Amino acid sequence: MSKTCCPSPTTPESEWTVRQVVCRDEWDDATGQCPACGETVDLRHPHYQVELDRERPAGEATKLTHERRLLSFCDDSCANAWLDVPDR
């Protein structure tokens, strides 16, 4: 599963938009927790990564206009289960 999603236009108060879902391996010498099942994800081995993006609210003392968040999942079934929940 490797796809890139075209984000919809956002507003300053917008929620996170899924930018891409990709299979990764040898990403980092660390571990994380799968947001779907809670299992430990070893980032050195194959896992799925979801990249989220949203606009930052105007008026903050920064030049950054977007925030990015990376989530690591055990496998494609956990990533799909998390993405299929309404209001994500």
Domain boundaries along the sequence of the chain: 3-83
Most distant CA atoms of the chain, gap in Å: 41
**pLDDT, one tens digit for every residue, the chain (88 residues):** 333 333 333 334 458 999 999 999 877 679 999 999 999 999 999 999 999 999 887 766 677 788 899 999 999 999 999 999 876 5
Kindly list the distances between the CA atom of residue 47 and the CA atoms of 20, 57, 64, in Å, as whole numbers in the listed order. Answer: 14, 32, 29
φ, ψ for residue 38 (rounded to 5)?
85, -5
Task: Please name the amino acid found at residue 13.
Answer: E
Kindly list the distances between the CA atom of residue 35 and the CA atoms of 1, 5, 55, 74, in Å, as whole numbers in the listed order. Answer: 18, 20, 22, 9
